[in-house]
């Protein structure tokens, strides 16, 4: 059976890899620097019957590679002792032949452009984000047929005060990558790039991310992102489905209906299957009182203003916009979840309080809202568990993008996948 081959750079716990496997691809290599993410990837996706039996694709290796993908550019978040690798090192490690890779999938973190940091413009000759630069160099080393790129939404607008924006630099760089022997006209990557809302693709989460598809040797007009399948308020004459809500996503699991309280874990609860991931963080009693007060008056700490529960407004949030505006907010059950971040089970970090119960959502609930399968195991350390979930690209979204890519791959490779 022909399966297109994928290398997943910055693979995390494998959200994107899983999406490719669901769409029938063979992931032949995966690399990340985070030890917890690597362990999670390995225990869930490598050699697991659940993957082999449930999905048409495969993972071809026993363990992802833990390495630094910065190619020697400065990355202050990285462990000093970790080896840096070139694409050739990756080939050698995973036993991949040059030119064998059809797809490079990459989600290089661009922290300069997350919505909670500054987005000041940068001069053309001084790229601020080293990991994106490294990512382009990996692509140039292998020149695969297609490249899947995911990033924060702000990367699309960052640098708008200067004529050459960050995204222009990315697309121009991709356009100039040419295989040996190809002319400039024959080579280069055509692309489709946009900010997609995962909720519009049936994911129970409003998650806006920049998604790029780059196809070698094609014009931009020939490259397309998948059509939206869901909508907030679909026209009955259209084929669009309504958004999938938190209640839709979690309500199908009877055992999750047990009213798990703060600090409780679904292990050893009579009549319910053990699920160590279905555990809530333990909250301070004052936090629980704050949640109750917020629930009494609405769903946000702002609803406490001018009420007799004003004492529960955390001083630091008063008057703040952005992330802090949603702190301690109660998630709505009848809507998709808000964007799950790397702090998505921590109520002070966003609208992450359960719709009906006075506790943050559990790690299992977070993973399901990210469309990981129910059997997906997470790290036992709480911070690592919410980090790998919040960092992921929803597998169900990647599956749809990977299906769209199949058409491009058939055209480019003339192989019937």
Ligand X SMILES: C[S@@+](CC[C@H](N)C(=O)[O-])C[C@H]1O[C@@H](n2cnc3c(N)ncnc32)[C@H](O)[C@@H]1O
Q: Which is nearer to ligand X, 11 or 193 (CB)?
A: 11
Instruction: Please tell me whether residue 34 binds ligand X under the rule CB under 6 A.
Output: yes
Choose the binding region for ligand X from 9-17, 54-62, 217-225, 376-384 (rule: CB under 6 A).
9-17
Instruction: Out of 6, 7, 14, 154, name the contact with ligand X by CB under 6 A.
Output: 14
CA distances from 25 to 58, 87, 88, 156, 306 (A): 7, 20, 22, 28, 56
Which residues, listed in sequence order, are joined to residue 290 by a DSSP beta bridge? none
Q: Is 235 exposed, middle or buried (0-12, 13-18, 19+ CB in 10 A)?
A: exposed
Q: Which is nearer to ligand X, 74 or 118 (CB)?
A: 74
Q: CB nearer to ligand X: give 42 or 68.
A: 68
Draw the binding track, 123-142, toward ligand X (x: CB under 6 A; -: no contact): --------x-----------
373 interacts with ligand X by CB under 6 A: no
d(CA 49, CA 375): 11
The only residue of 3, 4, 5, 11 in contact with ligand X, by rule CB under 6 A? 11
3-class SS at 87? helix
Residue 6 Cβ vs ligand X, minimum distance, rounded to whole Å: 12
- Residue 334 in contact with residue 321, Cβ under 8 Å? no
Contact status: 13 vs ligand X (CB under 6 A) = yes
12 binds ligand X (CB under 6 A): yes
259 DSSP β-pair partners: none
Which range, of 342-350, 357-365, 388-396, 408-416, touches ligand X by CB under 6 A?
A: 388-396
- The CA radius of gyration of the chain, in Å to the nearest whole number, is 22
393 binds ligand X (CB under 6 A): yes
Q: Give the nearest distance from C-beta 362 to ligand X in angstroms.
A: 19
In the set 46, 392, 402, 405, which binds ligand X (CB under 6 A)? 392
For residue 200, what are its two tokens?
């519009």
Report yes or no: 340 and 389 within 8 Å, Cβ to Cβ.
Answer: yes
Contact between 204 and 249 (Cβ < 8 Å) = yes
Among 28, 46, 69, 110, indicate the residue that binds ligand X (CB under 6 A): 69
Torsion sign, CA atoms 317, 328, 264, 361 = negative
3-state SS, residue 266? strand
Q: Of 12-20, 56-64, 331-339, 358-366, which segment contacts ligand X by CB under 6 A?
A: 12-20
Closest CA to 31 of 45, 41, 46: 41
For ligand X, the closer CB: 32 or 365? 32
Quote the strand ranges of 12-153, DSSP E: 26-32, 58-59, 65-66, 103-106, 146-152
> Smallest gap, in angstroms, from Cβ of residue 389 to ligand X?
9
Cβ distance to ligand X smaller for residue 207 or 351: 207
CA 331/CA 354 separation, integer angstroms: 6
Which among 65-73, 185-193, 292-300, 378-386 is the span making contact with ligand X, rule CB under 6 A? 65-73
Closer CB to ligand X, 4 or 395, in the complex: 395
Choices 75-83, 180-188, 221-229, 341-349; region in contact with ligand X by CB under 6 A: 75-83
What beta strand segments (E) does 273-386 contain? 275-279
Is 75 an interacting residue with respect to ligand X (CB under 6 A)? yes
Counting contacts by CB under 6 A, is residue 70 touching ligand X?
yes
Per-residue DSSP letter, 109: -
Among 60, 78, 140, 288, binds ligand X (CB under 6 A): 78
Residue 190 pairs in a beta bridge with: 215
Q: Site for ligand X (CB under 6 A): how many residues?
A: 23
Binding ligand X (rule: CB under 6 A), the pick from 6, 16, 378, 401 is 16
Q: Does 15 bind ligand X (CB under 6 A)?
A: yes
Query: According to the binding rule CB under 6 A, does residue 147 interact with ligand X?
Result: no
195 near 208, Cβ under 8 Å? yes
Q: Least distance in Å: CB of 203 to ligand X? A: 13
**H-helix segments, 185-321:** 246-251, 285-297
Residues that bind ligand X (CB under 6 A): 10-16, 32-34, 37, 68-70, 75, 77-78, 107, 109, 131, 391-393
């Amino acid at each position: 059976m022909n399966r297109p081959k994928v290398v997943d750079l910055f693979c995390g716990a494998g959200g994107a890899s899983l999406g490719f496997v669901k769409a029938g691809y063979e992931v032949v290599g995966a690399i990340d620097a985070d030890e917890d993410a690597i362990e999670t990837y390995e225990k869930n996706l490598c050699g697991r019957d659940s993957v082999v039996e449930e999905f048409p694709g495969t993972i071809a290796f026993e363990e992802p590679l833990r390495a630094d993908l910065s190619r020697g550019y400065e990355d202050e978040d990285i462990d000093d002792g970790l080896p840096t690798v070139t694409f050739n090192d990756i080939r050698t490690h995973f036993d991949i032949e040059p030119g064998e890779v059809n797809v490079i999938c990459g989600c290089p973190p661009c922290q300069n452009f997350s919505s909670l940091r500054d987005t000041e413009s940068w001069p053309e000759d001084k790229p601020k984000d080293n990991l994106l630069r490294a990512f382009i160099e990996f692509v140039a080393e292998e020149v695969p047929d297609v490249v899947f790129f995911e990033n924060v939404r702000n990367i699309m607008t960052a640098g708008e005060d200067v004529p050459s924006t960050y995204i222009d630099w990315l697309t121009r760089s991709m356009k100039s990558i040419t295989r040996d022997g190809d002319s400039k006209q024959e080579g280069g990557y055509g692309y489709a790039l946009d900010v997609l809302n995962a909720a519009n693709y049936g994911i129970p989460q409003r998650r806006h991310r920049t998604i790029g598809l780059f196809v070698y040797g094609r014009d931009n007009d020939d490259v397309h992102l998948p059509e939206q399948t869901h909508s907030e308020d679909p026209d009955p004459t259209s084929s669009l489905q309504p958004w999938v809500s938190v209640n839709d996503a979690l309500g199908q699991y009877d055992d999750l209906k047990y009213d798990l309280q703060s600090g409780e874990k679904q292990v050893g609860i009579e009549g319910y299957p053990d699920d160590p991931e279905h555990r809530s963080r333990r909250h301070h009693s004052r936090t629980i009182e704050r949640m109750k007060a917020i629930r009494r008056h609405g769903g946000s700490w702002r609803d406490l203003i001018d009420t007799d529960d004003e004492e529960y407004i955390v001083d630091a949030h008063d008057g703040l916009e952005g992330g802090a505006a949603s702190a301690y907010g109660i998630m709505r059950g009848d809507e998709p979840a808000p964007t799950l971040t790397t702090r998505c089970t921590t109520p002070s970090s966003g609208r992450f309080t359960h719709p009906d119960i006075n506790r943050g959502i559990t790690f299992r609930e977070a993973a399901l809202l990210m469309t990981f399968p129910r059997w997906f195991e997470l790290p036992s350390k709480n911070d690592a568990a919410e980090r790998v979930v919040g960092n992921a690209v929803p597998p169900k979204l990647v599956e749809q993008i990977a299906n769209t890519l199949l058409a491009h791959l058939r055209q480019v490779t003339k192989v019937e996948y």
